[in-house]
Amino acid sequence: MIEYSFLFNTLLPALNKGLIVSLELIIPASILGFACGVALGCARAFGSKLTRRLGDAYTALLRGVPLAIQLMLIYYALPKIGIYLDPYGAALTAFILCTAAYQSEYIRGALLSIRKGQILAAQSLGFTHFQTIFWIIVPQAARRALPGCGNEIIYLIKYSSLAYLVTCMELMGEGKVVASDTFRFTEVFLVVGLYYLAMVSLASGFLRWLEDKYRIPGFGAR
């Protein structure tokens, strides 16, 4: 059993402090990562040959290199070329770049699933190439890609726990400090796990609601 005084006077205040930092990482990284993923997915699906190759190379690189290494490089290597980021900025940058690469895969697949007849119809009505993609293709693709993109957000919640590697003291970092100071590793990380479980459960419920709200009628109906 966890002692009442330890739980409410030491552990929960520290974890709540870390939770705020975690949310400050997860929420903007989810939004900006999705936006960057849409742009990257469009470039990979409809861009020039050079653009597609650069987009594919970026995606392969970010998906192939572990996030922990990306964090280390951004925080410790960029200062070598004069770019300095604080721990929060380094963690947020790494999360955005990484999740954008994964999101672009879902978006690209959804974009390519749109029938070419819609593109031809839009062009016959006088839409430019950009207007066709932005107003006709992307809104449909984003709705089709929502389940996959939502799954990536769930992953983002969990791998946000790596931010402590660059001394960004989020939920996992605060828990590690308390555990190291008190040697109560089992109790601390059990509660930390419950925090992450609660965040994932809430996010999953919200994403399911979002899927139902924006589901395309007749497409993927259960």
Q: Which residues lie closer than 8 Å to 84 by C-beta, 6 or more apart? A: 78
Of 10-14, 58-62, 127-131, 206-210, least confident by mean pLDDT is 127-131
pLDDT of residue 220: 54
What is the torsional sign of CA 121, 124, 125, 128? positive
Distances (CA, A) of 159 to 25, 152, 170: 11, 10, 11
Distance from C-alpha of 122 to C-alpha of 44, rounded to nearest angstrom: 21
What is the torsional sign of CA 83, 105, 60, 38? negative
* Domain range 4-214, CATH architecture: Orthogonal Bundle (1.10)
pLDDT of residue 119: 81
As a dihedral over the C-alpha atoms of residue 211, residue 198, residue 169, residue 166, rounded to 10 degrees, the angle is -50
pLDDT of 130 higher than 90: no
Q: Please write the tens of the pLDDT for every residue from 80-105.
A: 999 999 999 999 999 999 999 999 99
Q: Please write the tens of the pLDDT for every residue from 150-164.
A: 999 999 999 999 999
Cβ neighbours around 206 below 10 Å, total:
12
Position 108 confidence tier, pLDDT thresholds 50, 70, 90:
very high
- Give the start-to-end residue ranges of the domains of the chain: 4-214
Half-sphere CA count of 222, side-chain side, radius 13 A: 4
pLDDT of 222 higher than 60: no
Position 216 confidence tier, pLDDT thresholds 50, 70, 90:
low
The stretch 64-91 carries a mean pLDDT of 96
